[in-house]
Amino acid sequence: MKQERLYSIATLLKEKVFNVLGWELKEEPVIKETEGILFLMVGTGKKVLKVGVEYRKALLRATPSSSLQDEADIVMVAAPHIGHAQLERLKANNVNAIDETGNYYFSYRSGKDHMILYEFNHKSKATRLPRIDAFSPKAGYIVMSLLTAERFEISTMRELQTKTGVSLSGIFSICEAMKRNDLIDYSKSLPIRVLNPSRFLDEWAAYYKLRLAPKINRQGYLISVKRIVDKESGEVAVQHLDWREGASVLLDHMPKSALTGVQAAQSVSRFYALEVGEILVSNLHEAERELTRQFILTPTSRNPDLILIEPYNSSSFVGINEEGKFRTAHPIQIYLDLLTSDDPRANEFAEIYREKALGY
């Protein structure tokens, strides 16, 4: 069976990559079935390259094995299906990958030439669609609790109820759905544990982006104050303020508020700098009232100073970090907010931040 899958991967690579680049297969594919390894010799017109592909049932690691990297000029990983979020992460880490449905990322540099091919159009009918049933808006409490727990496990459903406030019946139905989709495992004698944190977050991020992000209330503002510029005449001018002024007020007066997005991610990576503050708030109207007590607040969709984000529920406030100048959301929530931002650069930043802040 694995041999047939490897031959299928070879055919897909020839069709989607080598033919597009004008490369030619020089020999029949060499397959090491027990190791799940495929070797292809391809001519580029200038030289012959050895392409090595490592097939896995699940991408538990983001890179091919070190032995394959020593043997081949170009290395790739392959799997039955690679989700969009996972393929984006592989792309951000410049890891060549392909799946059996035809989704792939391929990058090759030769001298000054750098060739990049990328496609994501295919969903796995067998595995992809049913997994959406593993999640719901309420599942966010359980997802965040499991991913922030030590060793990604929680002893009992009763403990999970204490942590999340979700009813036992609700926890049971959500956990059963997750278990059916091979995201978690548990039994009467074993704790509830995440089987693969990377895949678990990939699946949650895909659901979050598709189903929950459209429900999030997001509004941008300009912040300013009136200042007296001439005491004798009483002349007043409007002075524009930095986002930090508004953030300080909100974080001081609203317990359920936290810095997120690009500014919160700056402590880990300087990949993208942006002078806009994004604050998670439990209630957008309450946040507006707090700000208007001290500032002139002007709603805007262009070049705002501050963006207020009212999440779909309070699971976004799980694991808040109180250390530092500003209270910040948990790295998982920061990653999700970057991933669902309207700013394409922030979306790109999401995968870089995830790798550095979470490591999976």
pLDDT for the residue numbered 258: 97
What are the angstrom distances between the C-alpha of 356 and each of 133, 238, 352? 30, 41, 6
Same domain, 341 and 227: yes
One domain for residues 208 and 223 = no
**Are 228 and 166 in a shared domain?**
no
Instruction: List residues bridging with 39 in a β-sheet.
Output: 30, 52
CB within 8 A of 45, min separation 6: which ones? 22, 23
- Distance (Å, whole) CA 123 – CA 330: 30
User: Is residue 124 a part of any domain in this protein?
Assistant: no
The length of the chain, given as a count of residues: 360
Q: What is the pLDDT along the chain (360 residues), one digit of tens a residue?
A: 567 788 889 888 988 999 888 898 888 888 888 888 999 999 998 899 999 999 887 765 556 666 788 899 999 999 888 888 888 888 888 899 999 888 999 999 888 778 899 888 766 544 443 344 578 888 999 999 999 999 999 999 999 999 999 988 889 889 988 998 889 999 877 899 999 999 999 999 999 998 899 889 999 999 999 877 677 777 778 888 999 999 999 999 999 999 999 999 998 888 887 889 999 999 999 999 999 999 999 999 889 999 999 999 999 999 999 988 899 999 999 999 999 998 999 999 999 999 999 988
Residue 146 shares a structural domain with residue 13: no
Q: Are residues 230 and 281 in the same domain?
A: yes
Q: Is residue 249 part of a domain?
A: yes
- Check whether residue 8 and residue 40 sit in a common domain: yes
Domain CATH number, residue 158: 1.10.10.10
Say what the pLDDT of residue 250 is. Answer: 95
Q: Are residues 208 and 221 in the same domain?
A: no
> Which residue, of 119, 150, 177, is where some domain finishes?
119
Q: Which pLDDT does position 136 carry in this prediction?
A: 84
In whole angstroms, give the CA distance from residue 332 to residue 142: 13
Find the DSSP H helices in 133-266.
Answer: 139-147, 157-164, 168-180, 197-207, 243-253, 261-265
How many domains are there within the chain?
3
Residues 256 and 190 in one domain: no
d(CA 235, CA 226): 10
Asked if 203 and 239 sit in the same domain, the reply is: no
Query: 274 and 191, same structural domain?
Result: no
Last residue of a domain, one of 119, 144, 172: 119
331 and 228 in one domain?
yes
Residues 173 and 252 in one domain: no
* CB 90 within 8 Å of CB 54: no
Q: How far apart are CA 260 and CA 337, in angstroms?
A: 7
Dihedral of CA atoms 37, 38, 43, 46 in degrees, nearest 10, equals -10
296: in domain: yes
Q: How far apart are CA 338 and CA 298, in angstroms?
A: 24
- In a domain? residue 68: yes
Residue at 335 is within a domain: yes
Tell which of 74, 93, 119 closes a domain.
Answer: 119
47 found inside a domain: yes
Residue 12 located in a structural domain: yes
Which residues form the domain of 222? 216-357
Place of tokens 């002349």: 235
